[in-house]
Structure 1
């Protein structure tokens, strides 16, 4: 018997060790992730980092000889060109190799050996140059508030003899054509902080900085302090990581949640139209979308308590509200160019439902009656717009969906009706707290009940042998967005839907295919699906696939964030998808559903292999509070403790709902 137990343990260890070896990256003790470079080369990847006035996509790699390379695509969203469209911003690539510009004892540095690359809201590259007895550390990071990106280089003499170091006077300036710029000409370029000859004694080090910046030509050149900018970037990361803290026995999930908060929060731009959260990806900045911002990320920001995020969310709804009209013509899908233009290329994508859903959920979670009153007219208008789009089958018609005709969506799709259903429910909760007429709220409630029946009647279907949903009338191929009902509390077909989502027809190593039989995947539907699977109570199944997904995105070949899509966009790190990742936990695993400005329901779904799960420093519903859940006597003990001193302790069964009111 002991022999078989030992063999079993060896087998389990072997499987675990094989999976660990497949990960290129590993968790770092500092709180980030690191790639200890040994073999499996060459390897290239890309990552996006952002601040208030720029974004940078670093395309970096290590070749077969362990040399590091980086190509920087830097975007300045508010330096705009004619015609003033979505992508009409200053975007320049710099493939400058600073290493090749240095002279050590009058010679080039020679062969590099990269030992480690670390990511923690910035990039750190540790290298050796054996020929010259040197170590080099590169730190790559954007400014949090200025239109500048920085690289910090530290050279350490690890030899026994003093060496000479020659640094170039690096000062390259470019000027754009003033006739093309919205604000005239732009100047952009690269500048070093140090130049000249230095003697480096044994054991000593030398630090210098490279700054990439841009500005309107008529504006003075700012005086940057790269070291202070590095401190500010680290403080930003720490502030994001210290709020809405996830604690579970699964360190990979905890760490990816922490990274997702960074990417979801950093991509906010200081435009002349106010703070605007932008998806990124070298394409989408200084603009807002009804899906990425209103639907995906805005409902999340109140939980994080990131005031810049909350301000950008409220600002986005204000921009959408500008387009309300008495004729109930659709609100544009996107408001672009710092608020000066619109994009409506796919016509009505169900944007009204997206905005109603996001605005109502944001207002409830934010817990501000003043903001809720301001948003109520927009919620009313978008609900009325959707009501007027109800077709003969009792569901909401739209021209397309958020994939904008990349895949067929029919004349009425499941996504739009599901979002409208949830928005109606949220409006009832919100309206009660705002003292809106009972007649109006009863009508919303009745409309939701009728719509739920019609969703089942029209979309409920057997597709490819699964009792699930067709995405639109005539659809007979499985689609990833069949998960939508699970995220809005409709569980009538949960088992068939979950079986379909995790079947080989849809699930891949990279998550869900958009449509069975294709190779295209978009993370947004995978993230919605995982949230919905937990909400439906399929906790063990959800955990299995959440762990697979998180391992791949955080520690695999392309790290450390959720991505947009493939093959389109080459798996860009679009920002709002990271917000969707966090919502798997807040709304799926912890099961938080706003029911008022100061109240919510919570239906926890803790995996059986966990003995605890906590969310610390939640800043929503007008409170700062912790949720601590432990396994106890075959059930769960939930302790909710607010900063104001209120405490709720309750023992519940798995999947049981508790109600919390901070009034």
Structure 2
């Protein structure tokens, strides 16, 4: 289809007007644009050679796009397309990762010729990310190529849209080659067909200052499903509607544009990674390895409690399905609960106690309070009650909960009782005491509150220790090195060792990539970091009131993840899985703003509290359309001299308008 363009629009393909990000460093590759995207201007000095990758997902497809720009500014693309529901036949442990995958590089790209010579679009001027990824190529014979890649939200197809723009004053006669690749495989569910094709006309007359668009489709089908006939405009509309929904809810605006932008992008990554499965819609981590499955940490603890805030019904449904799956699989004996259900739930992982009962109790109780649906809360309540009883019945003589390992699954030693499991159990007891009271289980509420007091004492007595000269926590008995999960008592509101623990996290354990898993001066191995540890650590130190030093580290971390060498989302880990963009970590980034900077706490369905903190470097914070059930809450904070002007709205109606001291709790009945 030919479309007229004005010269001004042509120029917009070549020139971007950037808002320079606050706290920008010289080694940043990216800038924040005026349209809520980030842009890499490849022509900047020392910005190439450089390569990176980004994951994008829809309900039936996910893709990891690897892009590399060499010393001549020439682009190479590798598209790893993953079809999560299409399980291949594997009989050993690989069946847990047996997703149908295809990798496409330059061979899938059509040829474009003019006057018998190829127009080879290799060099790029800029790259843009905004829930899609777009490459702007350097003009060849006065023709620009702009290509945009993103997944379908509902179909088993990934698209790459090509737009050819004639910048000259003469008509260009172009020929476009057909792309046609067909592969078949006998899979677990039937016959799989993967197909790549484009819908370009074979010859076009490209008028001066006009453009022509066509699309490459990367798709797969089971048996008799269609492999052609996809419509780009429908796919684009669905993706745009998704992005608009995510942009409009839970809107963060502060005096720091980097934090705001990473918050927005984190909402996208957390929310797009939801897949159709035999369990219903489920949120899954992604990263090339983890789809159509649920885990007690990633889904029950990390992402599930986030979706009610966002008011994203698809995410809420996915969270509900995860909790229902764990509810259906409560052990009949004293065995630990299965910690994951992968590949449509058909492949559970059971037998190893990672502290999963504590993860589930903590995460599920938070979700139910925030979702504010009493009927569903009563349905899930037996899961919480079982989880807390399991922890209670698995304590040692010193009153701490035993677990074989933690969510690191034995990658590093944890002893017979670790601080993570015990902190999560403590948090689960507190949340469950609030929830039980709202559900009318008053005796259980009193019992859980009493146990939480006993648990706090046991954590202090068993784990409190002097490590590296700091009056903080040992991770397990016999542990002599600082660990990232010593942050969890702060997250749960245990603050007796707050300053020393913050010093350990934000100084001794801190690196350019956040908090190390462990500080071992004698280790010769590469530094190991998992973003979940950093995101929990910052949430804990903010909540403990250590605002200035926490903000400094948050700005550094956010700048690195949004504008640095691997963007634009929080990542899983390094060196394992090479820093893939797992989705639940993005949920944790949003939660550190809400539950850390704001210290948001909910003790019943219809009330919550915040503890405002600001300083000269973050003097303003607005959070609009935070949902508690069906009620939309908006919070506006502004630093006025030494006080914080605090305004809180419910469905647009002002509830609170007053000035408070930094660190003063504000409780709101809704």
So what's the TM-score if we normalise by structure 1?
0.94
Offset at residue 67 of structure 1 (A): 1.6
Looking at structure 1, the residues matched to 618 and 170 of structure 2 have their Cα atoms a distance apart, in angstroms, of 55
Aligned with residue 502 of structure 1, among 502, 506, 510: 506
- The Cα shift of 1:602 comes to 1.3
Partner of 1:317: 323
Aligned match of 2:515: 512
2:276 aligned partner:
270
1:79 and 1:182 in contact (8 A); partners too: yes
Partner of residue 76, structure 2? 69
Structure 1 residue 199 displacement after superposition: 1.9
User: Alpha-carbon deviation of 1:226?
Assistant: 0.9
Confirm whether residue 238 of structure 1 aligns to residue 244 of structure 2: yes
Give 1:513-592 correspondences, 5 Å limit. 513-517=516-520, 519-592=527-600
Using the alignment, how far apart are the partners of 1:501 and 1:645 within structure 2? 40
**Partner of residue 29 from structure 1, selected from 28, 31, 34:** 34
Deviation at 1:434, TM superposition (A): 0.6
Match of 1:369 in 2: 374
Change (3 A) 1:446 1:18: closer
Q: How many matched pairs?
A: 640
Match of 2:480 among 467, 476, 489: 476
Give 1:156-195 correspondences, 5 Å limit: 156-176=165-185, 178=186, 181-195=187-201
2:497 aligned residue: 493
Q: Map residues 420-439 of structure 1 onto 2, 5 A cutoff.
A: 420-436=425-441, 438-439=442-443
* Cross-structure match for 2:138: 128
Residue equivalent to 1:6: none
Q: How far apart are 1:100 and its partner, in Å?
A: 6.0
Return closer, same or farther for 1:220/1:157 CA change in 2, 3 Å cut-off: closer
User: How far is the alpha carbon of 1:530 from its aligned partner?
Assistant: 0.5
Per-residue deviation, residues 419-459 of structure 1 (Å, max 9, x unmatched): 010110111111111111x3222111111100100000000
Q: CA deviation at 1:189?
A: 1.6
- Preserved CA contact (<8 Å) 1:100 1:108: no
| Greater mean alpha carbon deviation, residues 349-358 or residues 390-399 | 390-399
- What residue number does 2:213 align with? 207
Could you tell me whether the CA contact under 8 Å between 1:70 and 1:97 is conserved in 2? no
Alignment of 1:262-301 (within 5 A): 262-301=268-307
1:403 maps to which of 408, 411, 419: 408
Runs (4+) of structure 1 exceeding 6 A deviation are none
CA contact (8 A) 1:535 1:605 kept: no
Does residue 57 of structure 2 align to residue 53 of structure 1?
A: no
Q: Is the 1:298–1:358 contact (alpha carbons within 8 Å) kept by the matching residues of 2?
A: yes
Per the alignment, in what secondary structure is the counterpart of residue 20 of structure 1? coil
CA distance in 2, matches of 1:238, 1:116: 24
Q: Does the 8 Å contact 2:561/2:568 carry over to 1? A: yes
Three-state SS of the structure 1 residue aligned to 2:476 is coil
The correspondence for 1:95, drawn from 105, 108, 111, is: 105
TM-score by length of 2: 0.93
- 8 Å contact from structure 1 (residues 186, 216) kept in 2: yes
Q: Secondary structure at the match of 1:274?
A: coil
Task: After superposition, give the CA deviation of every residue in 1:46-71 in whole Å (9 maximum; x if it has no partner).
Answer: 00000011100000121211122210
Deviation at 1:238, TM superposition (A): 1.6
Secondary structure of the corresponding residue to residue 83 of structure 2: strand
Q: CA–CA distance in 2 between the matches of 1:529 and 1:193?
A: 49
Q: Which residue is 1:81 aligned to?
A: 88
Q: Say which is worse superposed, 651-660 or 300-309, in terms of deviation.
A: 651-660
Question: Any stretches of 5+ residues in structure 1 without a counterpart?
Answer: 1-15
Of 254, 263, 275, the match for 1:257: 263
Q: How many Å separate the matches in 1 of 2:207 and 2:643?
A: 64
- 1:309-332 superposed Cα distances (whole Å, 9 cap, x missing partner): 000001000001111133232111
Local SS of the residue matching 2:51 = strand
Q: Is the 8 A contact 1:72 1:93 kept in 2?
A: yes
